[in-house]
Every structure is written in C-alpha cells, then in structure tokens.
Homo-oligomer: A and B are copies of this chain.
C-alpha cells in the first residue's frame, strides 16, 4: 500500500446558506481545496452526501459536481454512509491513491438541508425505517435513550452533558467557518427548550448547509509540490446493528470500539499519542460515549472528563472538537466527516489560529452514521 498524504483543504462557512445551491456550495469548497493544494488537475473525485435525493431532489451527485466544477471527464462518485458519508468519501479516496490507481484525488462532502424537506424525517432514513422510524422515533429520541441509559448506568449528569456544548461553543467561537460563533453558558444549555428528555436544544447539533473538500495525493506528488506532508496513517471503518434494540448495550457504540481498535493497530498508535481528536458530537451525549469508546477515558468517565476540562484546548490533555464540533461548527451531514479532516489538517500544519493546539503532530477524526451503525476513523500525522 502506497503512502497517502493530504495536501490541501477548503470549505465553505457552515450555516443557513440561503443564497447558495448545493452545487454552489460544493464547488466553492472544492475550488478552495484545489487552490490550497496548488494542483493543476485532479485524477478523480468523491462526493460524500447523505440524502440529496430527499433534501433537494438531486441524486447522481458525483457527476453533477464534476460537471459544475468543470473537471469532466474526471471520474466522480458519490459515497453515502448517512452522517458518516464524509468520512466514507475520504476513505474511498484513500484507497484509490493507496492502490496506485490515481495520484491526486479530491474527497469532498456536502449537504443542503435548509431548502424545504422535513429535515428530521429525512435524517431518520439513516435509522431502521421498518422497526424504529415506523414507530415514530427519530434521532433526538434515539440519542435521548442512550443519554438516559448512560446517566442511569454510570451516573452521568445533566451538567456533564452541558459541559460538552459549552466547550464546543467556546472552540467554535474561534472558528471563522463555524455556524454558531457564540459561547454558551451551562445555564443556557440546561434551560434551553426540551427536545427529547434529557436532551435540550443546545445539546443538539443544528441543521446546516455546507461543503468541505480535501486533496489526497501520493507522497511523490507532495514532494514535487513541496508540501508539508500530512500522512494518513490509519483508515478504519466498522458497522453495528442499525437499530438500537438489537444491541447488547446502548451505552457502548460497538462500531466505534471496533473501528478504533483497527485504527490504532494500523497507525501503531494509542490514545495517549493523539494531540487532538475530532469526534461526532451530533448530540452532547455522543461526544461523551465516543470519548470512552475510543479509549481516552474509562467507560462511564467521559462525562467527568469533559466537566473537568480535560478535553479543552486550554488544558491540552487531549483536546476534543477544537473546530467547535458538530454542535457549534454546524452539521451539514455529508460534509461533516471531511470538515473533521480539515480541522486536523489545519492543526497539524499549525494554521488553526486562535484555536491552535500546541505541538500538534497526530490527530484523529471519528465520524459516525445513524446511532452509530457506521463509524469511520482516520488518524493523520505530520512528519
């Protein structure tokens, strides 16, 4: 397998982008990435998107975006793993470069969620349509059940959930591409509108439009372009049952555990080697569960860890979601996995501005779909 490196990144601001179509959004991100990489062509491209068919009535998004980006006849393929579509897009680009089939591949992701479709219903197509959604449950309810079980089993508190949102908004306030650049207090989180008990509005990631893209290349290309090579030292993915009711435990996300095992093995690293971690905080409880299942904290201690500040940039023990995470940066679902990679890329290049982590050499991105039925993990390292 050839070495694969990331040599460029670009994204749109995340938010309610009323005056931009899904094509405008993707093309803006892709052009930014191509310009940042300094390449004069790409060999192939991937578009991660969860549900453009339901959101905006457009499938065949690979070909659509290649056309509007002006790169025909470059091969273009859409990849979908619900909210892990971005991570999956990056993984396919990784395989293509690693195989030797292509030298320069664009991995992008996009979603346009504010254009009229019923967002909660559309997102629910990532759950088990026959056994979960048919009975009326959607994602806030599924994650609320995980939160409730975690609270009962491990004593996780309402305050600890709020600490995730507070930290991520503090980080996002420093990210020019974040949807919400405002800090929030624990009281604001705990007094916000109830969505699905115990999860309140400020425990939930928002509905967002946005696009993100990175350029992957072989080491030879990176050397020619004199790029600081940010190596992809692990790509791992795992699945779990689509429905919560099929799992032995709902307080552990088995896809995260399995993908992490593979990622650490492939990279020959352990949690303590990570200088920063981007995780899939679609709801505050998700960040807590994932921080445990990735092996950063003992099972049941993730809430305490965030409340103690151990995952803050300021503490620098192991900063989580320096970008602001899904909570503050926004969550255009297909773009999220790529935006996580962009945060690692910027941090490992020392270009993360006010949210820069000191001495960041190794970072991890954990992206998941549904209630964790898919998990994609990448580890990047600056040489």
Query: Which residues in A have some Cβ–Cβ distance to B below 8 Å?
Result: 1-2, 21, 44, 50-51, 53-54, 56-64, 66-67, 71-82, 88, 91-92, 95-96, 98-101, 122, 125-130, 133, 235-243, 246, 254-255, 258-259, 369-370, 373-374
Q: Contacts of A82 on B, CB cut-off 8 Å? A: 59-60, 63
Asked if A373 meets B51 with Cβ closer than 8 Å, knowing A77-B81, A238-B73, A239-B72, the reply is: no
Measured in the bound complex, the distance between the Cα atoms of B96 and A236 in whole Å is 12
Q: Contacts of A63 on B, CB cut-off 8 Å? A: 81-82, 239-240, 242, 369-370, 373-374
A214 CB, nearest partner CB in chain B, Å: 18
Q: Contacts of A126 on B, CB cut-off 8 Å? A: 59-60
Q: Contacts of A243 on B, CB cut-off 8 Å? A: 67
Q: How often does this chain occur in the complex, in copies? A: 2
Check A75 against B239 for contact (C-beta < 8 Å). Answer: yes
A364 CB, nearest partner CB in chain B, Å: 17
30 contacts between A and B (CB under 8 A): A56-B129, A57-B125, A60-B81, A60-B127, A60-B369, A60-B373, A62-B88, A64-B128, A64-B242, A64-B373, A67-B241, A72-B238, A72-B239, A72-B240, A72-B254, A72-B255, A73-B239, A73-B259, A74-B238, A75-B237, A75-B239, A76-B81, A77-B80, A77-B91, A78-B81, A92-B95, A95-B95, A95-B96, A99-B99, A99-B100
